[in-house]
């Protein structure tokens, strides 16, 4: 059951951590991933279905990394300052960024050693994934000790001013340099990443998010045109091969909406 990964107890704490992380992060930074989707689609989804769109477990922090930066220079950039701030909160390095353990009942922060003393159902994790805009990350890995996944579609945000102020979407007051990825780019990212998902619940969430981005923000045809600017025929072909009625059914159960609505919105994108 995919919904178990997105229970309010977990997503509400993740949302609190989102504010903490972004208030400490040094721009240029942007929000992408599940929380960015939530902020974009929630007004339309809530208007149509009378409840909030699902939150996210993970926090995805988009950063600009210049491939020409050396090791000493990189550690002193806004990326380096943001990573230091995340570590200062008690997060430890994980595969793609950082992880913090929390006790499920009290929501108390605990360290890795403490977490090992509890059973799995007593502890949950919030992940902060650091997502650079370049694939040239050897120096990044050497300096920070992990190799994050690159997202080249962040380049229009940092280089072409395609981002939007995060402050327009949240109740707190991040500076205008802290941005959120626009919905058409988020949808393009979902199209490109979904076929490579190795965890079934992540693939289901991607399908749900892609449907929501296409359906709840603005006119469907306008959104489709905007999304197709950033994906190739090959990307769409890989998406078509990766989806089936089972994943549509699981996404419908996750969002508690009609399966056919999800299937139709995504299949129309492929025509």
Task: Report the run of H or E that residue 52 belongs to, with start and end.
Answer: none
Report the distance separating Cα 61 and Cα 183, nearest Å.
16
- Which letter does DSSP use for residue 166 in this model? G
pLDDT at residue 169, as a whole number: 98
- Using DSSP's 3-state secondary structure scheme, residue 97 falls into strand
For residues 204 and 201, give the distance between their C-alpha atoms in angstroms, rounded to a whole number: 5
Please tell me the predicted confidence (pLDDT) of residue 198.
Answer: 73
66-69: long-range contacts at Cβ-Cβ below 8 A with a sequence spacing of 24 or more?
66/134, 67/134, 67/136, 69/139
Helix, strand, coil fractions of the chain, as percent rounded to 5: 55, 15, 30
As given in the structure block, the two tokens for residue 179 are 């941005």
Could you identify the residue written with the tokens 């280089």? Answer: 159
Element (H, E) at 127: strand 123-132
- CB neighbour list of residue 9: distance below 8 Å, 6 or more residues apart: 104, 124
| Whole-number Å distance between alpha carbons of 122 and 120 | 5
The closest of 152, 186, 218, 196 to 32, measured between CA atoms, is 186
What pLDDT score was predicted for residue 5? 64
What are the mean pLDDT values of the chain's consecutive 10-residue runs (271 residues total)? 70 93 97 98 98 95 96 95 95 93 94 93 94 97 95 97 98 96 99 89 95 99 98 98 96 97 98 87
d(CA 157, CA 179): 8
| Residues 6+ positions from 233 with CB-CB distance below 8 Å | none
Phi, psi of 80 (to 5 degrees): -60, -40
**Cα–Cα distance, 68 to 152 (Å, whole number):** 16
What pLDDT is recorded for position 3? 62
Give the tokens for residue 237.
């072909």
């Amino acid at each position: 059951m995919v919904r178990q990964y997105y229970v309010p107890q977990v997503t509400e704490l993740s949302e609190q951590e989102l504010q903490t992380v972004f208030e400490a992060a040094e721009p240029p930074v942007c929000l992408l991933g599940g929380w960015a989707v939530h902020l974009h689609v929630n007004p339309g989804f809530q208007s149509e279905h009378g409840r909030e769109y699902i939150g996210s477990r993970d926090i995805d922090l988009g950063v600009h990394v210049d491939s020409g930066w050396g090791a000493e220079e990189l550690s002193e950039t806004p990326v380096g300052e943001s990573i230091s701030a995340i570590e200062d909160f008690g997060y430890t390095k994980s595969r793609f960024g950082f992880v913090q353990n929390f006790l499920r009942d009290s929501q108390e922060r605990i360290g890795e050693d403490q977490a090992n003393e509890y059973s799995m159902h007593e502890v949950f994790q919030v992940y902060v994934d650091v997502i650079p805009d370049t694939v040239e990350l050897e120096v990044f890995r050497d300096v920070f000790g992990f190799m994050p996944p690159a997202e080249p579609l962040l380049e229009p945000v940092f280089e072409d001013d395609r981002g939007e102020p995060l402050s327009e979407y949240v109740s707190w007051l991040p500076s205008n340099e802290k941005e959120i990825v626009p919905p058409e780019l988020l949808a393009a990212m979902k199209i490109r990443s979904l076929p490579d998902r190795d965890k079934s619940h992540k693939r289901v969430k991607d399908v749900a998010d892609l449907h929501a981005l296409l359906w709840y923000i603005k006119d469907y045809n306008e959104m489709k045109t905007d999304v197709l600017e950033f994906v190739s025929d090959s990307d769409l072909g890989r998406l078509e091969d990766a989806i089936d009625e089972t994943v549509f059914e699981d996404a419908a159960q996750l969002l508690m909406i009609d399966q056919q609505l999800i299937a139709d919105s995504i299949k129309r994108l492929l025509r």
